[in-house]
Amino acid sequence: MLFRTLILTAVVALLSITANADQAEIQSAISAGPASLTKNATIMRWNGKVLRQGTNGWTCLPDMPGNGGIDPWCVDASWQNLLDAVTNKKTPSYKKLGIAYMLAGDAPISNITPAGKKQDGDWVEGLKAHLMVLVPDHAMFDNISTNPNNGGPWIMWPKTPYAHVMIPIDSYPSK
| Contact (CB, 8 A) for 70 and 104 | yes
Choices 30-38, 59-67, 90-98, 132-140 (CB under 5 A): range interacting with Cu ion: 132-140
Q: Which stretch binds Cu ion (CB under 5 A): 2-10, 37-45, 76-84, 130-138?
A: 130-138
Q: Which of 156, 158, 168, 172 lies at the binding interface for Cu ion (CB under 5 A)? A: 156
Angle at the Cα of 159 (from 153 to 164), degrees rounded to 5?
Answer: 35
* Alpha carbons 16 and 118: distance in angstroms, whole number: 44
Under 8 Å CB-to-CB from 157, ≥6 apart: which residues?
Answer: 111, 112, 113, 114, 163, 164
Task: Select the span of 9-17, 60-68, 73-81, 149-157 touching Cu ion (CB under 5 A).
Answer: 149-157
Q: Closest-CB residue for Cu ion?
A: 156
The nearest distance, CB 175 to Cu ion, in angstroms, is 21
Residues that bind Cu ion (CB under 5 A): 132, 156, 166
